[in-house]
A = this chain, B = another copy of it.
Amino acid sequence: MSASSASPAIRLPFDELQQLLRAIFQHHGCSEKVAAALACNCASAQRDGAHSHGVFRMPGYVSTLASGWVNGQAEPKVTDVAAGYVRVDAAGGFAQPALTAARPLLVSKARSAGIAVLAIHNSHHFAALWPDVEPFADEGLVALSVVNSMTCVVPHGAHKPLFGTNPIAFAAPCAGHPPIVFDMATSAMAHGDVQIAARAGQALPEGMGVDADGQPTTDPQAILDGGALLPFGGHKGSALSMMVELLAAALTGGNFSWEFDWADHPGAKTPWTGQLIIVIDPSKAEGERFAQRSRAMVEQMHAVGLTRLPGERRYREREIASREGVALSAEELAGLNALLR
């Protein structure tokens, strides 16, 4: 979903935006390392046109930090569990700095064992998931990640919400192309996109969610005000969402989407759960180089008429931003500056 701003776009160099966001995070109590990880993630989303996870998220980060719900200074504790297994206790902080801390060990294990898993728990994830996996593909690795979030999705066949929007992200290298990357909520719609639609007063398509009485609605505000989302694709999306709960929470030692209670932290917005990342080294495979095969697949996808592959819109936006700067509305920039006061 694109940003819906009345004013013309301001173009800010990526580094400048990242610096501004880093300053905001530090101003609100984050350590330098945490601020750097979150600023990079959030600025990247804005740069790539993924607005529901761009600067739109900053007030939520700030109110969460102010509420004491998340530890902006957390030092993640990395444990080398086994030849293919790394565990991180994010210590009540954000998942991104936990990934940053564990990443070198994870990559070295994946390259040596052929596959490795990173199990993050006691972590907060409030961001797009593709920035967590794309860099692995840049290094020639295949990555899959899942993160559970907060109760807002009614399992298929149930009458009350239980699961989170529980995204799945995947990244794979592709010869002569940027990596093939997707990041999909297992809900019919991402929560951030519901928030953006509500702010813009736009109706949603049918089948996205229900209101507080469990009745189908196209009003995003009704979904936010005690309503809930539906899974995508009926019982199949619902089963995938369940799988995300098991992998991201049960397997990591993190909270399920329904297990944390932030009632004592008004302003808290970040789900306190877990995240799983699986990294595979495709050079262990039989036959041709993986990236060549991946490229062959892309060519076939074009041949059957696909004009846009997963991730391509983001790369196009990124390319424009690298020339012209990252697009922000004047209101968005003013909002960011206000967060520095």
Enumerate chain A interface residues (CB-CB to B < 8 A): 81-85, 87, 89, 112-117, 119, 121, 142, 154-155, 157-162, 168, 170, 172, 180, 182, 184, 232-234, 236-237, 239-240, 242-243, 245-247, 249-253, 256, 258, 278, 280-282, 284-288, 290, 293-294, 296-297, 300-301, 304-308, 310
Residues of B within 8 A of A142 (CB): 246-247, 251
Residue of B whose beta carbon sits closest to that of A287:
B253
Residues of B within 8 A of A306 (CB): 155, 157-158
Task: Please report the C-alpha to C-alpha distance between residue A83 and residue B115 in the assembled complex, in whole angstroms.
Answer: 8
Most chain B Cβ neighbours within 10 Å, of A237, A249, A286, A305:
A286
Partner of A250, one of B84, B247, B253, B294: B294
**Given contact pairs A158-B301, A182-B239, A304-B159, A286 touches B84 in the complex (Cβ within 8 A):** no
A168 to chain B, nearest CB (A): 8
A114 touches B84 (CB 8 A): yes
B172 touches A278 (CB 8 A): no
Task: Please report the C-alpha to C-alpha distance between residue A181 and residue B9 in the assembled complex, in whole angstroms.
Answer: 49
Task: Please report the C-alpha to C-alpha distance between residue A301 and residue B157 in the assembled complex, in whole angstroms.
Answer: 10
Residues of B within 8 A of A287 (CB): 121, 253
Residues of B within 8 A of A236 (CB): 184, 232-233, 237
- Binding site secondary structure of chain A: mixed
B162 touches A301 (CB 8 A): yes
**Given contact pairs A232-B233, A233-B232, A251 touches B87 in the complex (Cβ within 8 A):** no
Partner of A113, one of B113, B234, B252, B290: B113
A285 touches B242 (CB 8 A): no
Task: Please report the C-alpha to C-alpha distance between residue A85 and residue B83 in the assembled complex, in whole angstroms.
Answer: 11
Q: Can you show 18 pairs from A to B with CB atoms below 8 A apart? A: A81-B284, A82-B284, A83-B84, A84-B115, A85-B284, A119-B285, A121-B287, A155-B306, A158-B301, A159-B305, A160-B305, A161-B304, A162-B300, A182-B243, A246-B293, A250-B294, A251-B290, A258-B300
If A142-B251, A182-B239 are given as contacts, then 6 extra A-B residue pairs at C-beta distance below 8 Å, sorted by A number, are A85-B113, A113-B115, A115-B117, A172-B243, A172-B246, A253-B287
Residues of B within 8 A of A280 (CB): 117, 251
B286 touches A249 (CB 8 A): no
Partner of A286, one of B89, B233, B286: B89
Task: Please report the C-alpha to C-alpha distance between residue A304 and residue B238 in the assembled complex, in whole angstroms.
Answer: 13
Most chain B Cβ neighbours within 10 Å, of A82, A84, A301:
A84
Residues of B within 8 A of A239 (CB): 170, 182, 184, 310
Residues of B within 8 A of A83 (CB): 83-84, 112-114
Residues of B within 8 A of A245 (CB): 297
Residue of B whose beta carbon sits closest to that of A309:
B242
B305 touches A242 (CB 8 A): no
Residue of B whose beta carbon sits closest to that of A276:
B280
Task: Please report the C-alpha to C-alpha distance between residue A4 and residue B256 in the assembled complex, in whole angstroms.
Answer: 41
Residues of B within 8 A of A296 (CB): 256
Partner of A157, one of B180, B247, B253, B305: B305
Task: Please report the C-alpha to C-alpha distance between residue A189 and residue B184 in the assembled complex, in whole angstroms.
Answer: 21
Residues of B within 8 A of A159 (CB): 304-305
A260 to chain B, nearest CB (A): 14
